[in-house]
Amino acid sequence: MATRVRPSNKRCAVIGGSGFLGRHLVETLVDRGYSVSVFDIRQSYELPGLTFHLGDLCDEQALLPALKNASLVFHCASPAPASDDRELFERVNIQGTRTVIQACLEAGVQKLVLTSSASVVFEGKDIKNGQEDLPYARKPIDYYTETKIEQEKLVLQACDREKDFLTVAIRPHGIFGPRDPQLVPILVDTARRGKMKFIIGDGTNLVDFTFVENVVHGHILAAENLRPNSPICGKPYHITNDEPVRFWDFMSEVLVALGYAAPRFHLPYILVYGLALLLWLLSMILRPVLSFKPTFTPMRVALAGTHHYYSCDRAKQDLGYKPVVSLKEGIQRTVQSYPHLRKGA
Ligand SMILES: NC(=O)C1=CN([C@@H]2O[C@H](COP(=O)(O)OP(=O)(O)OC[C@H]3O[C@@H](n4cnc5c(N)ncnc54)[C@H](OP(=O)(O)O)[C@@H]3O)[C@@H](O)[C@H]2O)C=CC1
Ligand SMILES: CC(C)CCC[C@@H](C)[C@H]1CC[C@H]2C3=C(CC[C@]12C)[C@@]1(C)CCC(=O)C[C@@H]1CC3
């Protein structure tokens, strides 16, 4: 009988390894002695010893060479959350994730770590210290969230000790750090256009913002603890900075550190949410003749005006997780990494 060649434990693939989180993950894995192959639709950097495979994750034939000899796969690719292209989200996050699972099984991969999102339980209403047993959002707030829910279910249900295929999902929240293309750049762009003068609601809502290196740390701990007898198989884990902060204090700290004024005037949440909904509907109706993307989408307004912070006790207990970079240090390092976004630059 032919024996299956066991791939090296330190050989892994990162799907989405050119993206913000993916690249930080790749760099840390390389530092820790892993041999890494990157699969992405684009190549954004080079690193000695790293193999890049370019392609669409929905294409199994393109994926297979990247997974060859890997015992561990991280899947952290997704279309940008700001997109409103439903078809793209369904194709990549749902159909594409089925393809990733299939390709892992064919290539003999033993462990799959998915980057999910804490937002899979968020419906636009307050979540305070949310645990992993909260139900998935029944009314997901956008296509991104809707398809991240299906994606997480697919990956967790694929966990099968009999087939020697173990899966786990990491649910980060509000990732920030050097090279993030979303949070700080969108914030600064909004400030430069004079639209960051207002606080939505009373400004006391608490939120998790998670420094990218803590998210990477959570992923690697999950991968290294994923064994047939471990309690983590087939489960989701919140990974946060474990320091909920007022949404508007966080935004103000980043803005002020970059030389912009902090927002000062308050607007009622319900008014801004209603306006955002109206603008979004208008943008949909007018799409065939006029294309515009409102800055204050219903999703962003909901995130800016509600509590959404999560407990990471389960990760502490099962993975031995503890944030490695504090929020204060994370903000400092992030701000320093964006000299071109400073006022007047
Ligand atoms: N940023 C955040 O605050 C949070 C992110 N997450 C999750 O973390 C993961 C990483 O996010 P982040 O690093 O911010 O996102 P990025 O957009 O920076 O990275 C995603 C990468 O995946 C690539 N990609 C997209 N579609 C495909 C495809 N069909 N085939 C191959 N590659 C593809 C992207 O390419 P391209 O840029 O060309 O599209 C990009 O390089 C995602 O799964 C996201 O849902 C979860 C919680 C919070
Ligand atoms: C215009 C301002 C009111 C807000 C500017 C900052 C926002 C762009 C960000 C604040 C919270 C962020 C966030 C995400 C994207 C960027 C923000 C909306 C996610 C939606 C990214 C993907 C996820 O899985 C959840 C994140 C929640 C927080």
Q: What is the CATH number of the domain that holds 220?
A: 3.40.50.720
The answer to whether position 283 is within a domain reads no
Mean pLDDT, each 10-residue run in order, the chain (345 residues):
54 98 98 96 93 97 97 98 92 98 98 98 96 97 95 98 97 97 96 95 97 98 96 98 98 98 96 94 87 86 97 98 98 96 91
Q: Report how far ligand 1's centroid is from the alpha carbon of 144 (Å).
A: 11
pTM: 0.96
Q: Compute the distance from residue 204 Cα to the ligand 2 centre, in Å.
A: 17
Calculate how far, in angstroms, residue 278's C-alpha sits from the geometric centre of ligand 1.
Answer: 28
pLDDT attached to residue 323 = 98
Contact criterion met (CB below 8 Å) for 71 and 110: yes
Does residue 261 lie within any of the structural domains?
no
Q: Indicate whether residue 77 lines ligand 1 (CB < 6 A).
A: yes
Structural domain contains residue 141? yes
| Model pLDDT, residue 3 | 42
Kind of pairing between the strands at 127-130 and 308-310: parallel
Provide the number of structural domains found in the chain: 1
- How close is the Cα of 15 to the center of ligand 1, in Å? 9
CB of residue 17 inside a 6 A radius of ligand 1:
no
Degrees (nearest 5) of the Cα angle 255, 258, 264? 25
Q: Which ligand is nearest to the CA of 181?
A: 1
115 lines ligand 1 (CB under 6 A): yes
- For strand 206-207 and strand 210-211, is the pairing parallel, antiparallel, or unpaired? unpaired
> For tokens 């006790």, what's the residue?
313
Domain membership of residue 168 (yes or no) is yes
Q: Is residue 131 part of a domain?
A: yes
Assess if residue 218 is contained within a domain: yes
pLDDT attached to residue 126? 97
Q: Which of 25, 38, 40, 45 to mutate to test the pocket of ligand 1 (most atoms within 8 A of CB)?
A: 40
Residues designated as active site: 144
Q: Tell whether ligand 2 has an atom less than 6 A from the beta carbon of residue 204.
A: no
ipTM: 0.98
Q: Residue 302 domain-assigned?
A: no
User: What per-residue confidence (pLDDT) applies to 8?
Assistant: 62
In angstroms, the Cα distances linking 166 to 100, 103, 225, 230 are 14, 14, 11, 10
Is the CB–ligand 2 distance for residue 303 below 6 Å? Answer: yes
What amino acid is encoded at 276 in this protein? A
Note whether residue 255 is domain-resident.
no
Is 97 close to ligand 1, i.e. is its CB under 6 Å away?
Answer: no
Domain that holds residue 57: 11-175+210-240+309-324
What pLDDT, on the 0 to 100 scale, is given for residue 342?
Answer: 95
The amino acid present at 139, given as its one-letter code, is: K
